[in-house]
């Protein structure tokens, strides 16, 4: 099959595909807010209907939360691919910071680039449509796809995909495939595609340290009563040594050293601390001593206190000794680190720092393991070749520091390896006002997917 007619079709149909994206964005499918349940469901139904027009056997499926859209376009004897994305979007407040209405998408000029405006224009409606429009062009031009394709587009990604793992388990037979494609990540830069080779896992814990059974007057009790803020500060401080190494016992079990070859590739990216951190007003990379910036960004585990509070936090002075203090602490995990073991060791470590007269309570949130893409798979090689053909440059193969826990569930429940390819850019403002998606990402992204699908089917 020659890909050229399909690419020409993508080019020719760009305006029509844009109109379909605008229509998809128009649904305020804020899945996390039940006030939008009707719109969220309408969005799912719209999507299923659209899939049917492309010849998919598509259904809107119930979960305990928002529905999942499932579509199959099976071809016996062909490699079976499961495409994953989400149709729910983040809330839009503060609304007054939006220059254009968040659900009336259009193309505007921004800093010399053409961009698609609106909530979900990138995350993830734009990325989902980038893939589906590639399929549509291919079907229109060649009459079929060269692969057996199932799509699963969920409505709760922005609220933690709570109901998707049970859905996977209940429908494992139906959803089994050879490979999973995920289109929810980004490019290295506006001209260089990226294949995301790993995702960090996550462990999130809340700690409550309690001392006196009420807030105390520091004149009466200063110097005699335990101050839970002091104890909590000691705990947060005791998470790292002076070289930035994490001190939770056995924490580094399952962390692997990166090979020299891979490290050299990262060095070749030429990313400087000043370039990476300069965008947020910083200059010098913190964290573990003796590790390179790119290594720290995605191949090393971390521990961060994400929130701390206790005592008087209003204006002026109040001489109080708090009865309790709280902190939220999260770990990003890599390679084979086990969140269950780390949670256990973390809690024991914290408990060892609680003096008599004080107590600690933990609130645990769901942990997830890191995800590693198989490095030497034929599918990965095909995707590399396809992306290079489209963009004229070798794609960057690099992990991301973030976490997409559901990808771990694909592996665990369905035994599926994932290929994470996306066309978002660092300045897309996903989750913020004025989210956008470059028209070039949408256009060349479709062409990229067409090439990848053709390669996977060959």
- Output 250 or 274, the one with its CB closest to a copy of itself: 274
Taking the C-alpha atoms of residue 37 and residue 41, their distance in angstroms, rounded to an integer, is 6
Distance CA 20, CA 442 (A): 12
Residue (of 49, 30, 193, 10) closest to 120 by Cα position: 30
With respect to a copy of itself, which residue has the nearer C-beta, 253 or 279?
Answer: 279
CB of 270 to a copy of itself, least distance (A): 16
Options 37, 63, 218, 385; binder of a copy of itself; rule CB under 8 A: 218
Contact range with a copy of itself by CB under 8 A, out of 12-20, 79-87, 175-183, 318-326: 318-326
Strand partners, 68: 61
Q: How far is the CB of 183 from a copy of itself (least distance, A)?
A: 18
C-alpha–C-alpha distance, residues 113 and 444, integer Å: 14
- Burial (CB count <10 Å: 0-12, 13-18, 19+), residue 62: exposed
- What is the 3-state secondary structure of 21-79? HHHHHCCCCCCCCHHHHHHHHHHHHHHHHHHHHCCCEEEEECCCCCCEEEEEECCCCCC
The answer to the question of residue 458 lying near a copy of itself (CB under 8 A) is: no
- Residue 113 C-beta: closest distance to a copy of itself, Å: 22
**Contact between 88 and 156 (Cβ < 8 Å):** yes
CB–CB of 18/445 below 8 Å?
no
Residue 228 vs 457, nearer CB to a copy of itself: 228
- Residues that contact a copy of itself, how many (by CB under 8 A): 77
Q: Least distance from C-beta 430 to a copy of itself, angstroms?
A: 10
Q: How far is the CB of 433 from a copy of itself (least distance, A)?
A: 13
Between 163 and 202, how does the x/- string for binding to a copy of itself read (CB under 8 A)? -------------------------------------x-x
- The residue behind tokens 């393991």 is 369
Site string for a copy of itself, 371-410 (x = CB under 8 A): -----------------------------xxxx-------
CB 322 within 8 A of CB 227: yes
Cα–Cα distance for residue pair 214/106, rounded to 1 Å: 56
**In the complex, least distance from residue 425 CB atom to a copy of itself, rounded to whole angstroms:** 13
Is there binding between residue 257 and a copy of itself (CB under 8 A)? no
Instruction: Tell me: does residue 110 bind a copy of itself (CB under 8 A).
Output: no
Q: How far is the CB of 248 from a copy of itself (least distance, A)?
A: 15
> Pick from 259, 238, 226: which is nearest to 327 by CA?
238
Minimum Å distance from CB 9 to a copy of itself? 36
> Residue from 241, 250, 357, 394 that binds a copy of itself (CB under 8 A)?
357
Question: Which of residues 234, 289, 344, 381 is near a copy of itself by CB under 8 A?
Answer: 234
Q: Which is nearer to a copy of itself, 177 or 297 (CB)?
A: 297
Whether omega before 94 lies within 30 degrees of 0, making that bond cis, reads yes
Length of the chain: 458
C-alpha–C-alpha distance, residues 40 and 112, integer Å:
34
Residues 15-44 that bind a copy of itself (CB under 8 A): none
Query: Of these, 77, 112, 143, 223, which contacts a copy of itself (CB under 8 A)?
Result: 223
Looking at the Cβ atoms of 92 and 138, the one nearer to a copy of itself is 92
Q: Scanning the structure block, which residue is given the tokens 């699908």?
A: 453
Among positions 1, 170, 172, 286, the unique one binding a copy of itself when judged by CB under 8 A: 286
Q: Is 290 in the site for a copy of itself (CB under 8 A)?
A: no
The answer to whether 283 and 304 have CB atoms below 8 angstroms apart is no
The residue among 143 and 219 lying less far from a copy of itself, judged by its C-beta, is 219
* Residue 443 tokens, joined: 């256009």
């Amino acid at each position: 099959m020659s890909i050229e007619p399909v690419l020409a079709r993508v080019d020719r149909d760009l305006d029509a595909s844009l109109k379909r994206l605008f229509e998809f964005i128009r649904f305020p499918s804020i899945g996390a807010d039940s006030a939008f349940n009707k719109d969220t469901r309408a969005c799912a139904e719209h999507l299923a209907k659209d899939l049917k027009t492309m010849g998919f056997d598509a259904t809107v499926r119930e979960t305990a939360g928002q529905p999942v859209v499932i579509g199959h376009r099976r071809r016996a004897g062909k490699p079976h691919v499961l495409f994953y994305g989400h149709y729910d979007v983040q809330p839009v407040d503060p609304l007054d910071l939006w220059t254009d209405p968040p659900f009336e998408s259009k193309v505007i000029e921004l800093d010399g680039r053409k961009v698609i405006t609106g909530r979900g224009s990138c995350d993830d409606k734009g990325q989902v449509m980038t893939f589906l429009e590639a399929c549509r062009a291919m079907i229109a031009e060649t009459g079929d796809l060269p692969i057996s394709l199932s799509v699963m587009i969920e409505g709760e990604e922005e609220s933690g995909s709570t109901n998707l793992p049970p859905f996977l388990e209940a429908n494992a037979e139906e959803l089994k495939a050879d490979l999973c494609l995920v289109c929810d990540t980004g490019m290295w830069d506006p001209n260089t595609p990226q294949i995301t080779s790993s995702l960090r896992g996550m462990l999130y814990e809340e700690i409550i340290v309690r001392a006196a059974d009420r807030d105390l007057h520091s004149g009466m009790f200063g110097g005699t009563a335990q101050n839970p803020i002091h104890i909590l500060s000691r705990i947060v401080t005791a998470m790292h040594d002076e070289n930035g190494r994490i001190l939770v016992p056995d924490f580094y079990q399952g962390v692997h050293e990166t090979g020299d070859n891979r490290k050299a590739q990262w060095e070749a990216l030429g990313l400087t601390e000043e370039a990476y951190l300069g965008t947020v007003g910083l200059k010098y990379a913190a964290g573990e001593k003796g590790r390179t910036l790119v290594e720290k960004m995605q191949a090393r585990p971390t521990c961060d206190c994400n929130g701390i509070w206790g005592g008087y936090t209003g204006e002026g002075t109040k001489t109080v000794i708090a009865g309790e203090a709280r902190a939220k602490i999260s770990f990003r995990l890599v390679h084979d680190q086990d969140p269950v073991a780390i949670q256990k060791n973390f809690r024991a470590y914290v408990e060892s720092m609680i003096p008599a007269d004080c107590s600690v309570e933990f609130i645990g949130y769901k942990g997830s393991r890191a995800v590693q893409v198989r490095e030497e798979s034929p599918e990965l090689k095909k995707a590399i070749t396809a992306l290079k053909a489209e963009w004229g440059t070798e794609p960057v193969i690099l992990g991301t520091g973030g976490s997409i826990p559901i990808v771990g569930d694909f592996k665990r429940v369905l035994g599926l390896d994932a290929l994470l390819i996306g066309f978002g850019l660092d300045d897309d403002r996903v989750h913020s006002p004025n989210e956008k998606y470059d028209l070039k990402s949408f256009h060349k992204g479709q062409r990229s997917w067409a090439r990848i699908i053709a390669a996977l089917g060959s």
